[in-house]
């Protein structure tokens, strides 16, 4: 089962990515961008849900619905594809997004601190992730430049 | 030169600890080859043809004698007793053991050095003019800006997985000795009409498979915005650079595809969002950085020192030759900059032994305030030598093999490690360099030819800068055999030009003869005082081409 690091804790990931038609459960679902834009299926009672986007999808389409989204998951198709780092900065900076940013897809331990500094709050990780991965979030206690954090 | 503060020390030691952990996990099978690849590359570690290669960062080429001694010790302890100065002012070890690398990095950290981002798809070591701070034609010392850029780019969280590598050069002089038009970003220091410092930012230059001259994307940038502007520029590249094809992934391809206007506008739009953000440089931060690069305490020589120097030169031809080619003008009256040549015949260009590194350290301590600069031409510069010490320095340099009086001439060539070491190479380059040095060993002839840059690359990745040599030699593979394409007319400076290929490639045996023919065409056709490049620009490629192929066929 995929893992999730959130709030300095490693847990089993509660998130489910829906396809175009799958009915939405009551919480913890991620909608593909097109489906969100078409139907805006907000979870009842403020339950957690979100939209999942790829690093190459333009963010402008999302701009006017950001306030309704408690979470945006950015998918990394390949760990060497660093677009998602900038996507997070763009959402935080240019678009002023204040909800939760979750990194998912092909990411690994040694990227966590940089992802965090670019504005990601949580990380969906492979089954093999264990508590030692949390250590990498603290690899560096200093930084040379300002980023999202 | 820049001295580490507690934050710098903390960061390099945490980096060593991080890489030690990563290496252990890799050796224990917990990190795949694929995952370990970018991690080791961003710590300078390649897997080469014969062994790993470790590229050590020398930020904008500056080294202290203490650092040189540590490099000598590392070279002796962990390698085979020699190292190689690269064309980007770095130093490479050719034979380290992978499991020793964390230890080597710890040794380097003890003298304020590292190998961070010397490879990989990230922002690389910032390069600059080897005569920074002392050049008579300098507009402003580029080193404080280089160090600000080094810090900003180091472990930048957003730009560690770019589409491709990203190289920045800074030039602060009238002449260009940093080849800033051939970098992903070139920063040109200028003064505006009011005498204030400004930057012109060029983007999309580079060599490699597709050589391109950088284009101006922003002029008149205020210094405080340097980092926020580059954050925006890199963000545009990171978001839009080609990731499907590594040969089309450099920023130059994006700038070409979009056109410079569209690219510049995209950067400007992005920059305006965070123009005055947290990476804006405060005046006191800039001033504090400049305090790391103050002038040494120059001691004026005696009033007749220049006259005595002239007398020594008049009396000793070898000294006068060395003086004319290997010493350079200086801002400070009574001082010269001196190039220690790493191009004696029979040694791979840029190679030094551990003992030689120690000798360079000693020469730096004795003659140049304990500091040296690595140059992109693969030599070493002592930047602050008093004129009355030049003769003694020459003798010491000669004894150590550093006084080959050919700086800037044909045989002071730039040459990549080539097929002897590099797994990317199509052909060997070091033996070609040696054959040319043996062929053109007549010093009077070399001097008559004057300034002549000959550059050799063992493959189209162009580490030997063959596109910008007045004569450029490129190793190519033809059905498993090594051949050499020859091109002429390149220039890395402000009059940037890409060399043009003469025609079909030559065998290794034919290279020296072909170069000899090119030189004969030049000496025959040149007007008084005209350089090879000027003659080429006047007469074009054809006369050279005709002579070369008439002779071969």
Express each pLDDT in A82-131 by its tens digit.
Answer: 999 999 999 999 999 999 999 999 999 999 999 999 999 999 999 999 99
Helix (H) or strand (E) segment spanning residue B125: none
Nearest CA in chain A to B234: A86
What pLDDT does residue B520 have?
97
- Considering only CB atoms, which chain B residues are within 8 Å of A144? 7, 11, 151-152, 154-156
What pLDDT does residue B101 have?
96
What pLDDT does residue B421 have?
85
- Considering only CB atoms, which chain B residues are within 8 Å of A146? 277-279
Is B383:B393 a contact under the CB 8 Å cutoff? Answer: no
- Considering only CB atoms, which chain B residues are within 8 Å of A93? 273-274, 277
Average pLDDT over residues B138-159: 98
The reply to whether residue B10 touches residue A139, judged by beta carbons under 8 angstroms, is no
Quick one: tokens of B430? 């070091």
What pLDDT does residue B47 have?
82
- Considering only CB atoms, which chain B residues are within 8 Å of A125? none
Do the domain assignments include residue A143?
Answer: no
Q: What is the pTM of this model?
A: 0.96
Closest listed residue to residue B58, CA positions, set B70, B67, B66: B67
Do the domain assignments include residue A141?
Answer: no
* Secondary structure of residue B263 in the 3-state scheme: helix
Average pLDDT over residues B114-123: 98
What pLDDT does residue B553 have?
53
| Residue B406 to chain A, least CA–CA distance (Å) | 41
The fraction of chain A above a pLDDT of 70, given in percent, is 100
- Considering only CB atoms, which chain A residues are within 8 Å of B227? 145
Quick one: tokens of B344? 């004696």
Closest listed residue to residue B401, CA positions, set B370, B355, B447: B355
What pLDDT does residue B423 have?
84
- Considering only CB atoms, which chain A residues are within 8 Å of B121? 80, 82
Do the domain assignments include residue A149?
Answer: no
The reply to whether residue B239 touches residue A90, judged by beta carbons under 8 angstroms, is yes
Terminal Cα-to-Cα distance of chain B (whole angstroms): 56
The reply to whether residue A80 touches residue B158, judged by beta carbons under 8 angstroms, is no
Residue from the list A86, A93, A117 with its beta carbon closest to the beta carbon of B238 = A86
| Residues of chain B with a CB closer than 8 angstroms to some CB in chain A | 7, 10-11, 14-15, 17-18, 22, 31, 35, 38-39, 121, 151-152, 154-163, 227, 235, 238-239, 243, 270, 273-274, 277-279
Residue from the list B11, B157, B270 with its beta carbon closest to the beta carbon of A114 = B157
| Residue B540 to chain A, least CA–CA distance (Å) | 45
What range does the domain containing A52 cover?
3-136
| Residue A98 to chain B, least CA–CA distance (Å) | 16
Is B254:B204 a contact under the CB 8 Å cutoff? Answer: yes
| Residue A63 to chain B, least CA–CA distance (Å) | 15
Average pLDDT over residues B471-493: 95
This model of the complex carries an ipTM of 0.97
Distance CA B45, CA B267 (A): 32
| Residue A74 to chain B, least CA–CA distance (Å) | 13
**Is pLDDT above 60 for B166?**
yes
Nearest CA in chain A to B235: A86
CATH number at residue A18: 3.40.50
* Averaged confidence pLDDT in chain B: 96
**Is pLDDT above 70 for B165?**
yes
Question: What is the domain count for chain A?
Answer: 1
Decide the pairing of beta strands B351-353 and B82-85: antiparallel
* Averaged confidence pLDDT in chain A: 95
Quick one: tokens of A17? 């990515």
Distance CA B444, CA B438 (A): 14
Tell me the DSSP string of B21-46: HHHHHHHTTSS-HHHHHHHHHTTTEE
What pLDDT does residue B344 have?
95
How many residues belong to chain A? 149
The reply to whether residue A89 touches residue B15, judged by beta carbons under 8 angstroms, is no
Looking at residue B548, the DSSP 8-state letter turns out to be H
Beta-carbon contacts below 8 Å between A and B:
92
Do the domain assignments include residue A85?
Answer: yes
Do the domain assignments include residue A131?
Answer: yes
Distance CA B160, CA A80 (A): 9
Conformational region of residue B526, where left means phi above 0, alpha means psi within -120 to 50, and beta covers everything else: beta
Distance CA B329, CA B254 (A): 40
Nearest CA in chain B to A57: B239
The reply to whether residue A143 touches residue B35, judged by beta carbons under 8 angstroms, is no
The reply to whether residue A93 touches residue B274, judged by beta carbons under 8 angstroms, is yes
List of residues 6+ apart from A93 with CB closer than 8 A: A148, B273, B274, B277
Average pLDDT over residues B513-539: 97
Residue from the list A89, A142, A144 with its beta carbon closest to the beta carbon of B235 = A89
The fraction of chain A above a pLDDT of 90, given in percent, is 93
Average pLDDT over residues B347-357: 95
What is the arrangement of strands in the sheet containing B351-353, beginning at the earlier edge strand? Answer: B45-47, B52-56, B91-93, B82-85, B351-353
| Residue B66 to chain A, least CA–CA distance (Å) | 25
The reply to whether residue B18 touches residue A139, judged by beta carbons under 8 angstroms, is yes
- Considering only CB atoms, which chain B residues are within 8 Å of A111? 160-161
- Considering only CB atoms, which chain A residues are within 8 Å of B38? 80
Distance CA B209, CA B333 (A): 44
Quick one: tokens of B206? 């580079």
Average pLDDT over residues B427-455: 95
**Is pLDDT above 60 for B551?**
no
Q: Quick count: other Cβ atoms within 10 Å of Cβ B353? A: 17
Angle between helices B226-240 and B143-153 (to 10 degrees): 50
Looking at residue B183, the DSSP 8-state letter turns out to be S
Beta-strand ranges (E) seen in B231-342 are 327-328, 335-340
List of residues 6+ apart from B515 with CB closer than 8 A: B410, B436, B439, B440, B454, B471, B486
- Binned at pLDDT 50, 70 and 90, residue B424 comes out as confident
| Residue B224 to chain A, least CA–CA distance (Å) | 14
Domains recognised in chain B with CATH numbers? 6-109 (3.90.480.20), 127-290 (3.30.413.10), 308-400 (3.90.480.20), 414-552 (3.30.413.10)
- Considering only CB atoms, which chain B residues are within 8 Å of A85? 157-161, 238
Nearest CA in chain B to A130: B30
The reply to whether residue A89 touches residue B243, judged by beta carbons under 8 angstroms, is no
Closest listed residue to residue A59, CA positions, set B27, B343, B235: B235
Do the domain assignments include residue A130?
Answer: yes
- Considering only CB atoms, which chain A residues are within 8 Å of B233? none
Quick one: tokens of B429? 């380059």
The reply to whether residue A145 touches residue B156, judged by beta carbons under 8 angstroms, is yes
Nearest CA in chain A to B269: A94
Do the domain assignments include residue A147?
Answer: no
The reply to whether residue B35 touches residue A108, judged by beta carbons under 8 angstroms, is yes
For chain B, what percentages of helix, strand and coil (3-state, to nearest 5) are there? 45, 20, 40
Angle between helices B532-539 and B542-552 (to 10 degrees): 100
Is B497:B520 a contact under the CB 8 Å cutoff? Answer: no
> Backbone phi, then psi, for B262, in 5-degree steps?
-65, -40
- Considering only CB atoms, which chain B residues are within 8 Å of A55? 239
**Chain CA centroid to CA A135, Å:** 20
- Considering only CB atoms, which chain A residues are within 8 Å of B15? 140
**Is pLDDT above 60 for B293?**
yes
Interface test mutation site (partner A, options B6, B19, B158, B234, max chain A beta carbons within 10 A): B158
């Amino acid at each position: 089962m995929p893992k999730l690091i959130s709030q300095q804790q490693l847990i089993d990931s509660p998130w489910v990515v829906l396809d175009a038609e799958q009915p939405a459960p009551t919480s913890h679902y991620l909608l593909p961008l097109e489906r969100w834009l078409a139907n805006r299926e907000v979870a009842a009672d403020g339950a957690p849900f979100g939209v999942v986007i790829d690093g190459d999808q333009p963010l402008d389409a999302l701009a006017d619905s950001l306030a309704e989204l408690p979470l945006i998951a950015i998918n990394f198709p390949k760990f060497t594809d660093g677009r998602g780092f900038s996507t997070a900065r763009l959402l935080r900076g240019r678009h002023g997004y204040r909800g939760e940013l979750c990194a998912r897809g092909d990411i690994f331990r040694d990227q966590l601190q940089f992802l965090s500094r670019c504005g990601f709050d949580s990380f969906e990780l492979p089954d093999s992730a264990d508590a030692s991965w949390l250590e990498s979030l603290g690899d560096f206690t200093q930084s040379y430049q300002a980023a999202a954090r | 030169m820049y001295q580490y503060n507690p934050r710098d020390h903390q960061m390099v030691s945490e980096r060593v600890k991080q890489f030690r952990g990563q290496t252990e996990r890799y050796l224990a099978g917990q990190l795949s080859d694929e995952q370990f690849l970018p991690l080791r590359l961003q710590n300078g570690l390649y897997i080469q043809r014969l062994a790993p290669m470790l590229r050590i960062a020398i930020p904008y080429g500056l080294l202290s004698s203490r650092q040189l001694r540590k490099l000598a010790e590392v070279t002796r302890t962990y390698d085979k007793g020699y190292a190689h100065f690269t064309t980007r002012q770095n130093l490479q070890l050719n034979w380290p053991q992978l499991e020793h690398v964390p230890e080597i990095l710890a040794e380097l950290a003890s003298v304020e050095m590292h190998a961070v981002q010397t490879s990989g798809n990230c922002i690389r070591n910032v390069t600059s003019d080897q005569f920074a701070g002392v050049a008579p034609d300098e507009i402003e010392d580029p080193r404080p800006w280089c160090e600000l850029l080094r810090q900003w780019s180091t472990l930048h969280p957003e730009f560690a997985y770019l589409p491709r590598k990203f190289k920045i050069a800074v030039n602060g002089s009238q002449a260009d000795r940093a080849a800033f038009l051939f970098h992903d970003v070139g920063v040109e220091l200028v003064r505006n009409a009011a005498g204030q410092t400004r930057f012109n930012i060029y983007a999309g230059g580079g060599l490699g498979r597709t050589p391109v001259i950088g284009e101006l994307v922003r002029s008149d940038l205020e210094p405080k915005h340097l980092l926020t502007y580059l954050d925006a520029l890199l963000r545009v590249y990171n978001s839009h650079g080609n990731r499907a094809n590594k040969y089309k992934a450099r920023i130059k391809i994006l700038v070409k595809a979009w056109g410079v206007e569209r690219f510049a506008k995209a950067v400007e739009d992005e920059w305006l969002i965070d123009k005055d953000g947290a990476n804006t440089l405060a005046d006191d931060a800039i001033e504090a950085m400049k305090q790391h690069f103050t002038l040494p305490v120059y001691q004026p020589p005696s009033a007749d020192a220049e006259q005595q120097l002239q007398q020594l030169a008049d009396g000793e031809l070898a000294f006068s030759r060395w003086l004319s080619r290997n010493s350079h003008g200086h801002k400070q009256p009574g001082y010269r900059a001196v190039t220690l040549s790493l191009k004696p015949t029979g040694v791979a260009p840029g190679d030094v032994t551990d003992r030689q590194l120690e000798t360079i350290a000693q020469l730096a301590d004795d003659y140049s305030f304990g500091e040296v600069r690595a140059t992109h031409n693969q030599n070493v510069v002592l930047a602050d030598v008093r004129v009355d010490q030049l003769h003694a320095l020459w003798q010491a340099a000669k004894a150590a093999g550093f006084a080959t009086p050919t700086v800037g001439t044909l045989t002071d060539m730039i040459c990549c490690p080539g097929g002897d070491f590099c797994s990317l190479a199509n052909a060997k380059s070091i033996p070609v360099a040696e054959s040319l040095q043996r062929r053109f060993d007549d010093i009077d002839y070399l001097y008559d030819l004057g300034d002549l840059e000959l550059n050799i690359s063992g493959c189209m990745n162009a580490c030997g800068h063959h596109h910008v040599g007045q004569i450029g030699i490129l190793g190519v593979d033809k059905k498993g055999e090594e051949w050499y394409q020859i091109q002429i007319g390149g220039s890395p400076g402000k009059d940037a030009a890409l060399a043009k290929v003469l025609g079909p490639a030559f065998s290794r045996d034919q290279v020296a003869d072909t170069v000899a023919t090119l030189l004969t065409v030049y000496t025959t056709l040149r007007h008084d005082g005209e350089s090879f490049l000027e003659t080429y620009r006047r007469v074009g490629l054809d006369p050279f081409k005709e002579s070369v192929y008439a002779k071969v066929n």
